[in-house]
Structure 1
């Protein structure tokens, strides 16, 4: 029997001014923030795709599924709700096999980080990639059993508690950890990643 294909899901918002990277936009202007995100998406798509896994863009809003501003990859809508609702729906709705969800605004992420995430899911039911601000840049589930019903319930998103809250919703005793990587939220995050 063939093993189910791993799936990498990249959470993206259509890179339109005022709709994406709004905190960064407050610092550098909404047009520049949208341009940064659009460029970041092109770079990310080239940097993390691999024949070893399927790469899918989870797009918000759902009406942007056919946007020409997004990389030419398979696309699905994120649907309604907060980040936890949307990620939980992706974990429950995709075909069988390991799923690794990543953010699109992580400049240091490489194909090797994604490969390490899928490798960790060979031995663990879950994997998480911490960020230094208390959040996380990646979360993956092996999905060899049903996805927990309370996954992401009560997580304080965009706070220093996001990763700890998320881990508290996982019913697994073993969760692998990937290296710490940082996302770009505000202008002060840009110098650390070389703008």
Structure 2
């Protein structure tokens, strides 16, 4: 439904400021290339889909539209606060919305469509990540009042903490996916594509990203 909104949550693609854990292992430039490739891929796939609206929520707040990326969707600042506060504000602007990051190479339009279908029967939907976090979160109009309170972000407890805050509300879970936070995740992506995992520009040309 066109009343549905997809929020792409991202950090401005700047050298030395994105995917810092990955950058420590493969280099800042390789990490930046991966981040840009994923952002470009999701803007193309999600921004052009007529089943929903799409917007880019960017940090830092004064960031301009990334150079070299087609300006296909509206861009908003994430604002201040921790991750939960920023995500909560972004989702609160819409009656029914899902929010995703840009470090899940397997994420595609079918996952977004599945999330909105799930919101037809649930008040909250999550895409579990293998590391204990989640790659997607979405809410319908009748949502839990404080889903992100006291969540231990960047830990294996993030999803469990959020689900605890949603107790008493119908919740749906999507398929479990792996985000790319370190070299091991990037190597797994390379093995799946049959390419050198550090050469993310090559992966993009072969449309594996």
Mapped partners of 1:28, 1:174: distance in 2: 41
Is contact 1:40–1:107 with CA below 8 Å preserved after alignment? yes
Structure 1 regions of 5+ residues with no counterpart?
none
Provide the TM-score with structure 1 as the length reference. Answer: 0.91
Residue in structure 1 matched with residue 39 of structure 2 by the alignment: 41
Give the aligned partner of residue 135 of structure 1.
133
How much has 1:35 moved relative to structure 2?
Answer: 1.4
Q: Secondary structure at the match of 1:32?
A: helix
* TM superposition shift of 1:66: 3.1
- Give the TM-score normalised by structure 2: 0.85
1:102 aligns with 2:125: no
- The 8 Å contact of residues 126 and 172 in structure 1, kept in 2 or not, is answered as no
Contact 2:123–2:143 at 8 Å: present in 1 too? no
1:83 corresponding residue in structure 2: 83
Residue 69 (structure 1) shift? 5.1
Match of residue 56 from structure 1:
55
Match of 1:192 in 2: 188
Cα-Cα RMSD: 1.6
Matched, 1:173 2:183: no
Look up the SS of the partner of 2:119 in the other structure. Answer: helix
**1:14-56 alpha-carbon deviations (Å, 9 max, x no partner):** 1111111000010111121111101111112222331010011
What do the CA deviations read for 1:136-157 (whole angstroms, capped 9, x no partner)? 00000012x3661x22111111
Shift in alpha-carbon separation, 1:69–1:147, aligned structure 2, 3 A? farther
Structure 2, unaligned runs of 5 or more: 191-196, 198-209
1:157-190 CA-to-partner distances (Å, cap 9, x unmatched) read 1100000011112254310010001111001101
Cα distance in structure 1, aligned partners of 2:137 and 2:20: 23
Instruction: Say whether the 8 Å CA contact 2:4–2:52 is kept in structure 1.
Output: yes
Please tell me whether residue 67 in structure 1 is matched to residue 63 in structure 2: no
Tell me the equivalent position of 1:5: 3
Runs of 4+ in 1 over 3 A off after TM superposition: none
Question: How many residues end up aligned between the 2 structures?
Answer: 189
Shift of 1:108: 0.2
Worse-matched range after superposition: 65-74 or 20-29: 65-74
